């Protein structure tokens, strides 16, 4: 047992989804809730195939409304618990270490950036912590080469076409040196339609990246049409 | 609450501290009991049958709490010298902390190397509170010159602090002892303050210098009243705020805002958060916590600030390590941290009020809020609901701190809810403007002064509002004799009602529960109350007013008489500070017969406040001496206030079965000495009699003996002139032939009253001597047959403790 676990006596931890008290071995979610997380399969990644700029993509879980995965992501993004990012990043790293290192030969990890005012409001960029988590397992360096130069509206309420327009031209390269000829892994928290990832990837390719891959904690919606139809209601 | 183990732990820890403070067990016994617990538990574990496991844990935590308190109370200090006062003492030592300057004094604490008086040198290791009593530039020069760590040589008066001398009084000495301070030292001349070494202790000196410069900015930018308030609000030093203003704040029920609390700490935290907005989260959180600790150090860490800073830090740390925490748990952690380092804090008013307020807000607000938001009435009228929600927080804090406020202030404010509704938002504005003004005064003085004027405006508005609320006659209710046992009862009842409310939702049932438990509680609270002045008896209380006379007499018919009222100086007005609070404590509205024995400050001084406050209905005094300015001024005041008065005249006042004799009058032989014009008053009740002689000297005694002879005989003699050897001749004493002699004199007074001669004489005559300088206030009671001396200190300390 690590020393930090004794802090449970002062500040006990609770399941982020069902609020029951966690024991020493559980992290963020109780055993029951973490068992109910749904892993991704080949099918769920199908709709990303149309993103030509991306070579390949790996995500851990399926994003489902009102399920433990939503509580995880929500706490990571809006409740200031940035350590969830590191924890899930490690999980991604452990899961796909071989693919990242041996198949994709990733040179560096690139977190999807936030607009500076948004980052100030939130206090941190959750993707950066996911990237750090992956780094701690795989040893691949993290470079913040992207910068969001334009404030973009939250994607959650938009349709696919609106999303593409929304992020168009929102990113810029900061350090070309770290991009040119490199194999890069883009990291984001949730991929929905892939518009953001797509935009980032094309900016990176334009700047001379060799190949761009992507990884995320969760992916939402098995096909883009369902999102479109839901939002148009 | 079940999910947070620390809450339970802290509760039992506190129980341990309280138990130890009552039982005072020696340390080795506690350690022994802890070992015993371990052994018993170990034996059980070896036999693989741990029964009552939780019970052992609870006992263990309680013992640890007790042990912690026992260790901390080893350091308790006392007053190590024989006499209560030493004039012309010389003190050598090192300054270990300095307070902010006041109008007429500068206080600092000195670690003493040695103290010298006459030819005696004492080398005791103790801390002494020093005050330099000067004004103007003399004081300011010293203030600018000194640093923490300086060696000093002081010449002045060494004395013990005032302990509990009269019923209902605050025990200042005990308060200082708990802070490790043994005695007081007063310096009256600037030549008597000499810096011997220039050494500094870096950190405390820096803290003092920062405090001093912030304070100087505050006082340069604002008027005196606002500056005093801001010093209290930002630097947690409210000694500059006038006594009367504080009373008004108490009456209006908003005294709590003068304590630096969560609100201020919240503002500071907010400012740091905004300031470090752009930094990475680790740096931002670290800097904010550092900033809060800096503020804590600058305010000299009073309990309320410590609590708020501890809570804020725990909250930030919890966020940083990704844990959610409940306010209750945070509060428990804060309490635990403070009590581990300083278990005696538990008995500090500041600690109790601060924690009680937050605790009851946390516990009481959510259910009431729920009820309000769900109610139909407030769904339509949102603003009314919001107003109520705002009041609920205030109400919750009021309920939770009620017993403590009664114990410390003897008052319940009835309009506190409304006063808080206006004063708290004003306070928010004043504090935030004050901070902004302070910041700008450093970087941009011109803008700073603009903000400062705004601060002045709002603080004056706050004073006006408080003054208005605090001056309403029915603003507050006096509740005296509220003991710790009553406080315990109050909380037990609250918890009981809370539990019942939790399980039973029926409205009528709830109403019955509330009414029943209230009645039972009030009944039990009354149980240990003690009547100082029971009906149908004659009670005489010699009030301890230091060097001077003051006797409060309750006549059998329920009226009150006051013979003299102590002195009144620029530093201390006995009327305002001792007699009126005592009257309030005892429930005495007004005095029917105010007897001024003669016009000497130590006899009539306190009457001036009483007359100004309309607390006296009728005055008896010696005939006017127009050559005496203070006498003329007094009569002018009496005319002005329309208080009827008469001169002493030989006469008998008949009150039911009591006779009041005035034994001298203005047509006696012409006397030039004021003391000899003292009114001689004899009270006869049944077979018991009392004689009061003012400051009458030996010169007048033969006349009295010749005139009255055997009639002078009384059971109780108020020894004339504080026991001076210029009064009380043997012959006079033979005629009076008392069983008890009351001597009212100040502890360590510089007249050396009472004189050994008089004491010897009284001892020879077998008279029991009662001295206010030795035992504080004296309470005598007569039922017409017997006189008994009552030990009020024992009664007041309560049944349980």
In chain A, which residues have their Cβ closer than 8 Å to the Cβ of B314?
11
Q: Which of A14, A82, A124 sits opposite B324 (nearest CB)?
A: A14
Q: Is B4 on the interface with A (CB under 8 A)?
A: yes
Opening angle at CA B683, ends B682 and B688, nearest 5:
120
pLDDT for residue B739: 93
Q: How close does chain B come to A81, measured CA to CA in Å?
A: 5
Opening angle at CA B396, ends B390 and B397, nearest 5:
100
CB atoms within 10 A of CB A164: 16
Q: Are A21 and B3 within 8 A, CB to CB? A: yes
Chain B: residue whose CA lies nearest to A128: B280
Backbone angles phi, psi at B68, to 5 degrees: -60, -45
Q: Are B3 and A10 within 8 A, CB to CB? A: no
- Of residues A185 and B72, the one with the higher pLDDT is A185
Query: Could you tell me if B568 and B609 are in contact, meaning their C-beta atoms sit under 8 angstroms apart?
Result: yes
In chain A, which residues have their Cβ closer than 8 Å to the Cβ of B333?
10-11
pLDDT for residue B228: 92
pLDDT interval class at B100 (50, 70, 90): very high
Per-domain boundaries in chain A = 1-36, 37-232
pLDDT exceeds cutoff 70 at B734:
yes
Closest CA to B274 of B393, B124, B432, B500: B432
pLDDT for residue A233: 37
pLDDT for residue B99: 92
Q: Are B278 and A11 within 8 A, CB to CB? A: no
The answer to ipTM > 0.90 is no
In chain B, which residues have their Cβ closer than 8 Å to the Cβ of A11?
314, 318, 321, 323, 325, 329, 333
Q: Which 3 state secondary structure label does DSSP give A72?
A: helix
- Of residues B249 and B666, the one with the higher pLDDT is B249
Q: Which of B322, B331, B333 to mutate to test the interface with A (most CBs of A within 10 A)?
A: B322
Q: How close does chain B come to A105, measured CA to CA in Å?
A: 31
In chain A, which residues have their Cβ closer than 8 Å to the Cβ of B6?
9-10
Q: Which of A10, A82, A124 sits opposite B333 (nearest CB)?
A: A10
Cα torsion for A37, A43, A47, A50, to the nearest 10°? 130
Q: Are B6 and A10 within 8 A, CB to CB? A: yes
Q: Which of B280, B319, B329 sits opposite A80 (nearest CB)?
A: B319
| 3-state per-residue secondary structure call for B29-84 | HHHHHHHHHHHHHHHHHHCCCCCCHHHHHHHHHHHHHHHHHHHHHHHCCCCCCCCC
pLDDT for residue B761: 92
CA distance A91 to A97: 10
CA distance B245 to B259: 14
Q: What is the mean pLDDT of residues B27-46?
A: 86
Q: Is B329 on the interface with A (CB under 8 A)?
A: yes
User: Residues A217, A221, A224, A227: is their CA dihedral positive or negative?
Assistant: negative
CB atoms within 10 A of CB A115: 16
Q: Which range has highest mean pLDDT (B101-115, B164-178, B234-248, B383-397)?
A: B101-115
In chain A, which residues have their Cβ closer than 8 Å to the Cβ of B278?
120
In chain B, which residues have their Cβ closer than 8 Å to the Cβ of A4?
321
Q: Is B277 on the interface with A (CB under 8 A)?
A: yes
Q: Are A80 and B3 within 8 A, CB to CB? A: no
Cβ-based neighbours of B181, under 8 Å, separated by 6 or more: B77, B109, B127, B128, B129, B161
Residue B447 burial (10 A CB sphere; 0-12, 13-18, 19+): middle
**pLDDT tens sequence across B149-207:** 999 999 999 988 888 888 888 888 988 988 889 999 999 988 899 998 888 889 999 99
Q: Is B282 on the interface with A (CB under 8 A)?
A: no
% of chain B surpassing 70 pLDDT: 98
Element (H, E) at B93: strand B85-98
Chain B: residue whose CA lies nearest to A116: B278
Question: Which CATH architecture fits A37-232?
Answer: 3-Layer(aba) Sandwich (3.40)
Q: Is B280 on the interface with A (CB under 8 A)?
A: yes
CA distance A43 to B487: 68
Q: Is B278 on the interface with A (CB under 8 A)?
A: yes
Residue pointed to by tokens 């709830």: B510
Extract the residue ranges of chain A whose pLDDT is less than 50. 1, 223-233
Backbone angles phi, psi at B175, to 5 degrees: -60, -45
In chain B, which residues have their Cβ closer than 8 Å to the Cβ of A124?
280-281
CA distances from B779 to B532, B590, B636, B742, B754 (A): 9, 19, 34, 10, 20
pLDDT exceeds cutoff 50 at B745:
yes
Q: Is B335 on the interface with A (CB under 8 A)?
A: no
Neighbouring C-alpha atoms within 13 Å toward the C-beta of B389: 16
Q: What is the mean pLDDT of residues B17-37?
A: 88
pLDDT exceeds cutoff 60 at B763:
yes
Chain A: residue whose CA lies nearest to B327: A11
**Which neighbouring-strand residues pair with B302?**
none
In chain A, which residues have their Cβ closer than 8 Å to the Cβ of B325?
11
CB atoms within 10 A of CB B534: 12
pLDDT interval class at B716 (50, 70, 90): very high
- Of residues A116 and B481, the one with the higher pLDDT is A116
Record the tokens describing residue B144, joined without a space: 């600018």
Q: How close does chain B come to A125, measured CA to CA in Å?
A: 10
DSSP characters for B411-469? EEESSHHHHHHHHHHHHHHHHHHHHHHHHHHHH-HHHHHHHHHHHHHHHHHHHHHHHHH
CB pairs A-B closer than 8 Å? 41
Q: Are strands B658-662 and B681-685 parallel, antiparallel or unpaired?
A: antiparallel
Chain A: residue whose CA lies nearest to B4: A12
Closest CA to B799 of B586, B548, B537, B528: B528
CA distances from B222 to B213, B216, B295 (A): 14, 10, 22
Q: Are A81 and B284 within 8 A, CB to CB? A: no
**Which neighbouring-strand residues pair with B197?**
B151
In chain B, which residues have their Cβ closer than 8 Å to the Cβ of A120?
277-278
Chain A: residue whose CA lies nearest to B273: A123
**pLDDT tens sequence across B554-577:** 998 889 999 999 999 887 889 988
Q: What is the mean pLDDT of residues B401-426?
A: 87
Edge to edge, the sheet with strand B560-565 lists B645-647, B619-621, B593-595, B560-565, B550-554, B538-542, B778-782, B787-790
The two counts, helices (H) then strands (E), for chain A are 9, 7
**pLDDT tens sequence across B510-549:** 889 889 988 888 888 777 777 788 888 899 999 999 899 9
Q: Are A11 and B3 within 8 A, CB to CB? A: no
In chain B, which residues have their Cβ closer than 8 Å to the Cβ of A9?
5-6
Chain A: residue whose CA lies nearest to B318: A11
Q: Are B281 and A82 within 8 A, CB to CB? A: yes
% of chain B surpassing 90 pLDDT: 36
pLDDT for residue B93: 93
Chain A: residue whose CA lies nearest to B323: A13
Q: Are B3 and A14 within 8 A, CB to CB? A: yes
pLDDT for residue B718: 94
pLDDT interval class at B661 (50, 70, 90): very high
Query: Could you tell me if A166 and A158 are in contact, meaning their C-beta atoms sit under 8 angstroms apart?
Result: yes
Q: Which of B324, B325, B334, B335 to mutate to test the interface with A (most CBs of A within 10 A)?
A: B324
Closest CA to B451 of B439, B437, B465, B430: B437
Q: Which of A11, A28, A74, A75 to mutate to test the interface with B (most CBs of B within 10 A)?
A: A11
Record the tokens describing residue B658, joined without a space: 């009591």
Q: Are A80 and B6 within 8 A, CB to CB? A: no
In chain B, which residues have their Cβ closer than 8 Å to the Cβ of A12?
3-5, 323, 329
Q: Is B766 on the interface with A (CB under 8 A)?
A: no
**pLDDT tens sequence across B584-643:** 888 888 899 999 999 989 999 999 999 998 899 999 998 888 888 899 999 999 999 999
Q: Are B280 and A124 within 8 A, CB to CB? A: yes
Question: Chain A interface residues facing chain B, Cβ-Cβ under 8 Å?
Answer: 4, 7, 9-14, 21, 28, 79-84, 120, 123-124
């Amino acid at each position: 047992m690590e020393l930090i676990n004794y802090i449970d006596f002062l500040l006990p931890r609770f399941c982020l989804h069902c609020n029951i008290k966690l024991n020493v071995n559980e992290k963020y979610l109780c055993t029951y809730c973490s068992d109910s997380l749904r892993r991704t399969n080949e099918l769920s990644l199908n709709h990303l195939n149309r993103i030509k700029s991306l070579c390949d993509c790996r995500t851990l879980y399926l994003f489902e409304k009102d399920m433990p995965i939503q509580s995880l992501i929500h706490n990571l993004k809006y409740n200031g618990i940035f350590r969830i990012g590191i924890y899930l990043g490690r999980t991604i790293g452990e899961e796909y270490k071989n693919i990242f290192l041996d198949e994709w030969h990733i040179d560096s990890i690139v977190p999807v950036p936030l607009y500076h005012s948004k980052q100030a409001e939130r206090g941190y960029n959750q993707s950066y912590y996911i990237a750090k988590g992956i780094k701690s397992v795989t040893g691949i360096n993290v470079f913040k080469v992207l910068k969001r130069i334009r404030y973009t509206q939250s994607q959650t309420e938009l349709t696919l076409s609106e999303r593409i327009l929304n992020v168009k031209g929102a990113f810029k390269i900061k350090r070309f040196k770290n991009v040119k000829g490199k194999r890069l892994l883009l990291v984001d928290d949730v991929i929905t339609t892939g518009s953001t990832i797509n935009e980032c990837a094309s900016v990176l390719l334009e700047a001379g990246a060799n190949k761009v891959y992507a990884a995320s904690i969760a992916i939402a919606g098995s096909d883009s049409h369902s999102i479109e139809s839901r939002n148009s209601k | 609450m079940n999910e947070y183990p620390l809450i339970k732990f802290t509760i039992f820890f506190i129980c341990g501290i309280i138990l130890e403070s009552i039982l005072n067990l020696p340390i080795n016994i506690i350690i022994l009991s802890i070992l015993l617990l371990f052994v018993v538990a170990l034996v059980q574990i070896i036999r693989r049958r741990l029964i009552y496991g939780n019970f052992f844990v609870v006992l263990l935590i309680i013992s640890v709490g007790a042990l912690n308190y026992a260790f901390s109370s080893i350091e308790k200090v006392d007053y190590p010298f024989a006499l209560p006062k030493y004039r012309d003492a010389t003190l050598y030592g090192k300054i270990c902390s300095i307070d902010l300057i006041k109008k007429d004094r500068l206080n600092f604490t000195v670690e003493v190397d040695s103290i010298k008086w006459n030819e005696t040198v004492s080398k005791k290791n103790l801390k002494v509170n020093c005050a330099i009593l000067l004004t103007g530039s003399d004081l300011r020069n010293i203030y600018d010159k000194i640093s923490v760590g300086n060696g000093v040589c002081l010449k002045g008066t060494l004395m013990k602090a005032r302990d509990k001398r009269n019923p209902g009084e605050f025990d200042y000495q005990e308060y200082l002892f708990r802070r490790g301070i043994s005695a007081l030292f007063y310096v009256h001349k600037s030549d008597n303050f000499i810096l011997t070494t220039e050494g500094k202790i870096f950190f405390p000196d820096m803290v003092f210098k920062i405090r001093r410069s912030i304070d100087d900015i505050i006082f340069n930018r604002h008027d005196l009243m606002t500056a005093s308030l801001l010093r209290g609000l930002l630097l947690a030093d409210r000694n500059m705020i006038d006594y009367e203003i504080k009373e008004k704040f108490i009456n209006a029920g908003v005294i709590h805002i003068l304590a630096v609390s969560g609100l201020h700490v919240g503002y500071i935290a907010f400012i740091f958060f905004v300031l470090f907005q752009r930094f990475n989260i680790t740096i931002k959180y670290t800097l904010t916590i550092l900033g809060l600790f800096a503020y804590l150090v600058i305010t000299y860490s009073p309990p309320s600030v410590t609590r708020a800073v501890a809570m804020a830090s725990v909250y930030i740390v919890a966020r940083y390590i990704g844990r959610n925490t409940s306010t209750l748990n945070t509060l428990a952690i804060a309490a635990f941290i403070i009590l581990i380092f300083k278990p005696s804090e538990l008995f500090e008013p500041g600690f109790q009020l601060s924690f009680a307020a937050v605790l009851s807000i946390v516990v009481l607000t959510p259910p009431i809020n729920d009820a309000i938001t769900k109610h139909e009435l407030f769904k339509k009228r949102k603003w009314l609901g919001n107003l109520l929600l705002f009041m609920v927080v205030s109400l919750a804090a009021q309920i939770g701190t009620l017993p403590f406020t009664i114990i410390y202030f003897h008052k319940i404010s009835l309009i506190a809810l409304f006063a808080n509704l206006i004063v708290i938002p004003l306070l928010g504005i004043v504090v935030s403007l004050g901070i902004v003004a302070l910041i700008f005064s450093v970087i941009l003085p011109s803008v700073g002064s603009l903000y400062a004027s705004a601060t002045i405006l709002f603080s004056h508005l706050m004073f006006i509002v408080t003054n208005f609320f605090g001056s309403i006659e029915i603003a507050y209710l006096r509740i005296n004799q509220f003991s710790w046992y009553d406080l315990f009862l109050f909380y037990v009842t609250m918890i009981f009602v809370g539990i019942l409310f939790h399980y039973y939702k029926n409205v009528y049932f709830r109403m019955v529960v509330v009414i029943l438990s209230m009645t039972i509680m009030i009944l039990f609270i009354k149980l240990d109350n003690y009547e100082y002045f029971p009906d149908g008896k004659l009670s005489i209380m010699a009030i301890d007013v230091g060097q001077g006379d003051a006797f409060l007499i309750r006549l059998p018919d329920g009226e009150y008489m006051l013979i003299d009222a102590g002195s009144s100086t620029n530093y201390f007005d006995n009327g305002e500070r001792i007699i009126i609070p005592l009257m309030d404590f005892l429930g005495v509205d007004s005095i029917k017969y105010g007897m001024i024995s003669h016009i000497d400050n130590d006899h009539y001084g306190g009457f001036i406040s009483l007359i100004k406050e309309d607390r006296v209905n009728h005055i008896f005094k010696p005939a006017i001496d127009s050559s005496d300015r203070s006498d003329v001024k007094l009569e002018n005041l009496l005319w002005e206030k329309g208080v009827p008065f008469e001169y002493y005249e030989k006469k008998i006042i008949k009150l039911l079965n009591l006779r009041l004799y005035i034994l001298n009058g203005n047509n006696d032989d012409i006397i030039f000495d004021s003391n000899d014009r003292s009114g001689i008053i004899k009270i006869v009740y049944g077979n018991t009699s009392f004689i009061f002689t003012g400051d009458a000297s030996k010169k007048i005694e033969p006349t009295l003996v010749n005139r009255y002879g055997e009639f002078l005989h009384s059971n109780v003699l108020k020894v004339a002139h504080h026991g001076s050897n210029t009064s009380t001749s043997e012959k006079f004493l033979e005629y009076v032939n008392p069983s008890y002699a009351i001597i009212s004199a100040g502890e360590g007074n510089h007249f050396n009253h009472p004189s050994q001669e008089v004491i010897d004489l009284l001892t020879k005559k077998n008279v029991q001597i009662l001295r206010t300088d030795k035992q504080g206030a004296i309470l005598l009671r007569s039922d017409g047959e017997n006189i008994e001396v009552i030990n009020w200190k024992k009664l007041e300390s309560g049944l349980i403790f």
